[in-house]
Chains A and B, each alone.
Chain A
């Protein structure tokens, strides 16, 4: 049995949904970063699958840019989180985001 484009897209959509739901319900900032990565990688999977089945290179190339940018984003994110941890001694967003007027 060979896998078609639909199976790949279903997995991709599932990963995207898991990441999104995780962002909504989890409270640990590190897990939020993981959920973000999950969503970006769901996109990567969709792009590679499309690229394979339409036999064009655009999607494959795009994936490299997404991986690079995601790495930069997480590097900045972890730096902010470390600085914030030193102030507040916590990685839970409800204790971090005390931005009340």
Chain B
């Protein structure tokens, strides 16, 4: 199909530049309309199918747009609210792909649990649209509104399983701590706004809520104490979203209580959203604050890597394990953010790492969604995976590939991601951070391979413990064709990107 006419149309029209987001919102609303019109007569799976088909179409459209839009880049729309950079386009595509996968996992989850399904998909689509806008925001009002649409949507999704009091408690905990982080972020924005627009200082900005105007102000006033406090508060508010120490206290409980697909969404989309904002701020307005932010972010990154890995060592619940290991991945990504102050190309490494993290995390969560039983979604001990590889080699293989990629084992995508990130840190001469990161990687191999061992080799040493009660009946789930294609595709991509990372790393060259 020839899209040139469409692009010619959008070039003269601002609303065309947020065409994918509008489509997502329309899709969400039409799901609700289908539900109302269909009532009880329609198949429960119809809604999930419509959601997935619509999103797949959008992924195709977004991919064609990603390849052929050089002339429409770096353009501000909606009077500076949004900026359409290459980074924003890639993150947009990233969020769409992760949205399709979460919708698929949500379909599996809703099949096992008797809950209304339409609202889940509709809210998730709205959250995705907000995430895509968040990645392109160029103004603090836009950033705040998009971030809060994401967060409020997540409050609902985390406590979606109303029959489970642990799920509701997780939602309440996320809401209260999320509210605090919002207030801290807003206080930072208010301070930055107030100091940057006060006419008493030199180079005061006229529209300080816009990123580039604020950046110009900070360039000349980087030692102003109020501006410094504001920058720190904004970074603290974002650190909550990515789950960095000391704002990681919500992670284990919320990850455990949330439905499995929502846990996957929190681990990938929410974290990537936080990093998209952080990267946009650090490469834009906060760049002059390097002397303040480099030590602070380095300390946060070190503490995050060590805490995440050490706390994950003892976890027996796989959802808590994934949560805490996700904390450590946030730490590795923060190294990239620190390196960006010295070499801006570290942004490519961050994008690549996020993509490998998406592939590996969704393979693991895909297996988790299939293996978990209905009802008690919050209790998923590692013992459930005993002998998975023998009785269902496909699921066992996908799980092993995903976990090994998260650990960063050489032929897989996770290794290339870590290598690029650490190489950027090496070029930026962050040797201390590198040392801590290597310790973290070594620690992480213990718990990732503990899980693989449980799934693959447990039977060998178990022969002398015959009377130990089996924790669950050994009925492994049936994967449909879609499940085989999606999980197999993820595993294949992990292998391919590990062996041949060229295409993606060339895509993120800018």
A residues contacting B by CB (< 8 A) are: 9, 16, 19-20, 23, 29, 32-33, 36, 39-40, 42-43, 46-47, 49-50, 53-54, 56, 58-59, 61-62, 65-66, 69, 72-73, 76-77, 80-81, 83-84, 87-88, 93, 96-99, 101
Partner of A73, one of B148, B165, B166, B317: B148
B179: chain A residues within 8 A (beta carbon): 33, 36, 39-40, 73, 77
Contact B180 A99 (CB under 8 A): no
Query: Which residue, B169, B257, B316, has most C-beta atoms of chain A within 10 A?
Result: B169
Whether A58 touches B155, Cβ cut-off 8 Å, given contacts A23-B176, A46-B187, A97-B253, is no
Task: For B183, give its contact among A19, A59, A84, A97 (CB under 8 Å).
Answer: A19
Q: Mark B156-184, 1 if CB is under 8 A from A, else 0.
A: 10010010011011111101100110110
Give the residue name and chain of the B residue nearest to A76 (CB).
Answer: B155
Shortest Cβ distance from residue B157 to the other chain A in the assembled complex, whole angstroms: 10
The answer to whether B187 touches A97, judged by C-beta atoms less than 8 angstroms apart, is no
B152 touches A73 (CB 8 A): yes
**Within 8 Å CB of A66, what residues of B?**
144, 186
Interface residues on B, range: 35 or more
B320 → chain A, closest Cβ, in Å?
Answer: 6
Nearest CB in chain B: distance from A40 CB, A: 5
Q: Closest CB of chain B to A47's CB: distance in Å? A: 5
Q: Is the CB of A99 within 8 A of B156?
A: no
Contact with A along B364-378 (1 / 0, CB 8 A): 000000000000001
Known contacts A16-B183, A77-B155; is-contact A99 B169 (Cβ 8 Å): yes
Which stretch (B42-50, B201-209, B408-416) binds chain A?
B201-209
In the assembled complex, the CB of A13 is this many whole angstroms from the nearest CB of chain B, namely 9
- The interface-forming segment of B192-200, B442-450, B495-503 is B192-200
Q: List 18 A-B contacts (CB under 8 A).
A: A39-B183, A42-B183, A42-B187, A47-B193, A49-B194, A50-B190, A54-B194, A58-B207, A58-B208, A59-B193, A65-B144, A69-B144, A76-B175, A80-B155, A83-B162, A97-B173, A99-B166, A101-B316
- Report the nearest A residue to B174, measured CB to CB: A80
Q: Report A24 CB to chain B, min CB distance, Å.
A: 10
Of A42, A69, A81, A98, the residue contacting B152 (CB under 8 A) is A69
Least distance between A12 CB and chain B CB atoms (Å): 8
List, in ascending order, chain A residues with CB within 8 A of B479's CB.
none
Q: Is the CB of B172 within 8 A of A96?
A: yes
- Is B183 within 8 A of A98, CB to CB? no
Smallest CB–CB gap between A70 and chain B, Å?
9
Question: Residue B256 at the A interface, CB < 8 A?
Answer: yes
Bound CA span A20–B184, Å: 10
List chain B residues, Cβ under 8 A from A20.
Answer: 180
